[in-house]
Every structure is written in structure tokens, then in C-alpha cells.
Structure 1
Amino acid sequence: MLSAAAATLLAAAAPRSVAAAPIPPPPAVGDCPDCIGEVNETLNTCPLDSPSCISTLNDDEAHFAAPWQFDGDRDAAIQQLLAVAAGGEFEPGLIDTFGGISQADAAVYIAKGVLAVATGGDMPEQPKRQRKGKGDFVPFDGTVVERRTTPSGAEYVRLVLGAAGGTASEVEDPSTVLDCEFLFIANDNIVNVRAASRAAPEGRLGSPGSQLALSFTEGLVVDKNVARRQMERLRTALRWEPAPVITDFDPRFNAEAPVWFERLFDPFDRRNSFEPSGIPYPAEGGR
């Protein structure tokens, strides 16, 4: 029964063939909620209703991404980014889903784990992380749109991914066309990152742009954030690391943020009303 349920999940997640669609136009550049571009030495945040967008300036779980950090010279790091993003070779690392764990293995492990907790049985063996082989190399297809130095000495880079190096006019899934921005801070090895899809994914399991994912707070979910997945793939290809950042929505750092199985087995726990950053808290004196 459990295997059949897992098989149903995987069948629903299988990609479907779709007709090509025109590439959406780029967003406006400037200082507006949906704009791209460096303004006052910083990048924009993601709108809270955007399903496929990340920014190191957001403070909510759905859109926040930790800044990247690199070793060595900044100019060399920028050249590495431009080379890899434009299709240069890199060493394939872990497979792209679930931290190197396949969707099938992850779905079965989660289902068996929930059943074990509910029945008092033994926990299943953790699935193995899988690495890509040399034949699994898939190059990026980025196009550099802008590179300049800000007044403070930071380096701003903007590129587009998913448009076949700027040669395509149509794509099967418009949500895979991303406007990606990088701000290399002056005299530091930190990179602020923002990336957003030009079109929203369908958001249905099995539809283009959506796949299964594991959330600390929600458990197994349908992940629509194409931008997050592609930026994580690019960071991994560069062999750069996420900068350590403590966030209040992460249960590892905030005891008031319940993880998904706590919600499942104790639905009346007061912590289940926890409101992470990105949702307005009550105004002073309004309690």
C-alpha cells in the first residue's frame, strides 16, 4: 500500500509535454516593487506573492536565500561566474533534488518515517545521497546583460538564464527564464543574490516548473520556486558556499518555530500559531 502511494506521487510528478510559448519580456529596471537593478548599493526584495523568486534581502522563508561566499580574488570569482553561467564546464556534483537524494527515495522515506512514528515501528534507513556522473553534465545557458561598478566599489552583474544564450524566442516553460542579479560587495568575499522567473509556474504537481520538496515547517510540498532551484544549482556548480545566516523562521535556530511533524502530531501546540518574518506582527500597543 505504501509503495503504491509513493508510485502515485511519482507518477503525478512526471513532467508532461507542453507547447512552446514566447519568452516573456524583462521586468522594468529601477526602484519599484517588481523592478530589477541595483539601487542605492542594494538589490530588490521579492514580492511576497511571487512563487518563483529569491533574494538575500527578503526575510521570509519562501523567498529568502543566504548570500554566497567565495574564496580568493573577487575579479576571478566574477569571471568564474560569467564563464559557468554562459555554458562553461564545471564538475557535476550531487543530483539536483532533496540535497542529493532522488524524489522517489525521499518520498518513500518520508512516508515510511511518518508511519513508523505513528505506529511505534522502526525508522527506515536514510536514503543515500547520489552524485552525478560525467555524462550528466548539463551546461547553463546564461547571457550577460549588464556589468558595472557601483559608487561604493561593489560589482553588479545581471544575466538571464533559460533563454538558450539569448538565441531563443520561445521556450517550453516560461517560468525557467530567470533574471539573475549578483552584487559583489567591495573588499569582501560576499555576494548578494536575487533571481526571479519572468512567468509564474503553474504550481500543480506534474506541471512544468513544479516538483516535490521538503520544507522544515510544512513537510512534503509542491515546490514552485524555479529560481531557488536554479540558483542553488549554479552555486553548487561554482563550488561556492552559502554565508551563515540565522533566521527566525528556521526551527533549527528558533524554538518557537515548529517543524512539520510537530504540527502533525500536536496540532494544538501554541507554537503552531508562529508567524515567520514577512508577515506583519501586531503594532506596538495594539495587543
Structure 2
Amino acid sequence: MAEGTLCASTLEAMGQARELADQIGVYVYGVLLGTAVESLSQELIAYGADLVLVGEDPALGQYQPGTYTQALACLVEQYRPEILLLPATALGNDLASRLAQRLNTGLISHCVKLDLDMSERLLLGTFPVLGGEMYHTAACPEARPQMATLEPGYFRAPYEDAYRSGDIQQVDLNLGEAGGKLAWLDLEAGIDLPVVPLSRARVVVSAGRGLQDAEGFALAGQLAEALGGVVAGSRGAYDEGWIEEEQIVGIGGHEIAPDLYVACGVSGDVYHYFGLQDAKFVVAINPDANAPIMKLANMAVVADAKQVIPALVEALAE
């Protein structure tokens, strides 16, 4: 949760919980911890929760590792979940590792894919190793709950169903002496925030050889800035020296799942498609109507991207 709203990473975790629960025939419990968080319960139900457990306490006003670990451990001991999912954010990973140690169970962290072994009701979590060059799949067959953290941007958020019904339950948390030792300070208003990693970007503008030159590639950067997104590209753009290796989308690069993917001058071969297949909405701008990317796109614009992008940037500025 951030500033009184549900984070995208939370909704992605809820979507996976719903899919897994439907496969093994169990309920999904969502958890809201903090102060004055009950107002978000109905939204969590709309995204897939059957029951929302609301724990409100002044001690939960800011994230304190010991306090939050105690609160979740109390709920796990009371409700005995089979699987427990958290987003792989900085706070989510910190809390998950502490909770797994507290519960004496295993944790599969930074998962980019989840599956189930139905024969033993085992959660299978796949995560990158060696800088993303390889992927491993792990399970926790001996202990419960089976825990995993989900890498943001790799899972689709579920569709919101405003007519969906569920239950909301206030819970008493035995926080005891689990006081916080962290002192939260206000961030300075002018602080420079880090650039969003490609794997977590909600908007991606991708450049291909069809932009022809560095001047054309610069236009992709202007469009990304206007949309509040980041710049990526195809293997061809990398070969031209326009992007770094960590900006490549596709085999040998990143697999991403942004809300919006704008392909500018990208042909869209199978190697590139592998990296963008989970994008929610794809816009392709290419003068070749028969380019593979045009068949994959939700919106295909048959035109020279170098002519279209300036008009888009101008329109977005108005």
C-alpha cells in the first residue's frame, strides 16, 4: 500500500493468489495492516479476495520489521494458510524473510513465475539466477505455509469486479512488546528518485532499427519522457549502439509486463516477442504493415515512427 492506495505489486500478488486458490479449491484471504486501512477492503475483494483480514493499530502506522512480523505471524498461526504470497518489494522481501524465519518455513523469493504440483499441492516458484541468464524452480515440501515473494511487473494484475462480494473481518493482533526500533524521517521534497528498472516499468517505449539513426532513437526517449515511461529496445537497437544490454527486450534480455508497450520501428521477431508477450497493451508504429509486431499489437499504426512520434509528443504536451 502507498499513500492510501493498493500498489500494483499488491494487486499482482492478489491475482496470483486467486489463480492458485481456484486450482486447489481454497479461499483467498487478503491482509491489510496499518491505521485506517479498512476502507481498502472492498477494493481488495473486487480484485479477488474472499475474506479481508483488517489489522489496525497505531503501532502499524509505519513499517517496523518486528511489529509487522509479529502481526503476520499471529494471523498465520490463527488462520493456517497453505500458501502465503507477498510482493518482492524492498519492504516485502524484508518482511517475508523475517516471517519465514519466525515460522520456521521456507521462502522462494523474487519469483517471476508460479506453478502448482497438483499431486502434492506444492507451490513451484521460478526465479532468475546468474543475473537472469538462467532460471531455477524451487519448492518447500516439508513446511507450511509455503511462502513466495513475487517480482513486480512479471505478473498480470487481475481485473477489478466491482460486483464481487466477500467478507471483511477486523482482527485483534497480539503485538505485545514487538515495538519498532526504526525512526522514520521525512524525505526532502527535492530528492532525486532512482530511475525505474525496466522490469518494473509500467510504460515502456521500445526502439528498433526502423528509427534508422541516433537522431531517430532520441525521439523514442522524448516519447518515453512524455508518457512517464522508460526506453528499451530490440537486439537490433543494441547492435546499433543506441541502448545498453540491460535495456534489451526479448531472448537474451528482459521479459517484461508493462501496462503500455510502444514499439517504434521494431519488426518484432520471435526473439523480441518472447520479452513482451505479457504486456497488457501494445502499440506498434511501423511503415511495414506486414511486420510481425503489427500482428501482435493491440493498436497498429502503419507509418514512419520518425514522423509519428513528434506529433504524439506535441499532443501529450497539450
Q: Same fold (TM over 0.5)?
A: no
Normalising by the residue count of structure 2, what TM-score does the alignment of the two structures yield?
0.23
Which has the higher relative contact order, 1 or 2, with Cα contacts under 8 A spaced 6 or more apart?
Answer: 1
Relative to its length, the structure with more strand (as a share) is 2
Relative to its length, the structure with more helix (as a share) is 2
